[in-house]
Amino acid sequence: MRIVDLSMTVEECDSAPFAPDETYFKLKPYINWDEKGFVSNFVEMTVHAGTHIDSPHHFFRDKPSIERLPLEPLVGNGVVLDLTFKGSAGARITPEDLDRAEQALAEKGVKIEAGGILLLRTDWPKGHTTTDPKWWNDSPCLTKEAAQWLVKRKPAVIGFDFAQEEKGSDYKTADEILTSGMRVHKIILPNVTCQIENLINLDQIGPTAKIIALPAKWKTESAPARVIALIEN
């Protein structure tokens, strides 16, 4: 069995492109090697740094937050929709694109099953990082119609390797996102157990894989996650 890490490495960054006044990920030394012979740090961060899981509570007050999510849907069979033909800057992913990717899966004998883990691959992480405004400003994105297509397939979990929120008249650049309608989040989150943001290495796992996606058990709307794929040799 081979393990593929689908998670980003999070490094220090003082501010996030989507919230420039907020700390993205910052280490605060508490104990250092020279004084005590070991090291210990505090961390100040947004819970949306790097690869993370959004619970429905992120947008819906009465929906479950991270610590209340069932674990069973977070360990299971994953299906990868290959959308690399829409992996260019500014691309908008439409239902027709998703139909094309689903047909390509069907030709390989793979079906999107209700209750499973559905991952969207564009390969946008190649050459981009989430601390660069271009990750957000230029990223491919789902249209709201594409988000509706996805929830009609009834996956328990949706994950993606791009900044999925649709850019339009109310959101054009990263620092405007917090004042946008965030339509895609609002379509997906009430219809799934959770969504996984900022995945990497989806090109290394093929159309199907066993996925384990476990967030830190924080009483928050979102939390960092180590997401892996198990590949049979």
> 144-148 — which CB contacts under 8 Å span 24+ positions?
144/183, 144/184, 144/187, 145/94, 145/95, 146/93, 146/94, 146/95, 146/97, 146/98, 147/183, 147/184, 147/187, 147/188, 148/95, 148/187
Question: What pLDDT is stored for residue 197 in this prediction?
Answer: 97
* 42 in any annotated domain: no
Q: 194-227, pLDDT tens digit by residue?
A: 999 999 999 999 999 999 999 999 999 999 999 9
* 56 in any annotated domain: yes
* 29 in any annotated domain: no
Q: Distance between CA 189 and CA 156 in Å, rounded?
A: 10
Domain residues for 154?
Answer: 2-9+50-231
- Looking at the 3D structure of the chain, how many domains does it have? 1
pTM for this entry: 0.94
Q: What is the CATH number of the domain that holds 146?
A: 3.50.30.50
* 151 in any annotated domain: yes
Q: How far out from the chain centre does Cα 211 lie?
A: 14
CB within 8 A of 48, min separation 6: which ones?
A: 16, 18, 54, 197, 222
Q: 72-83, pLDDT tens digit by residue?
A: 999 999 999 999
* 99 in any annotated domain: yes
Spans of the chain below 50 pLDDT? none
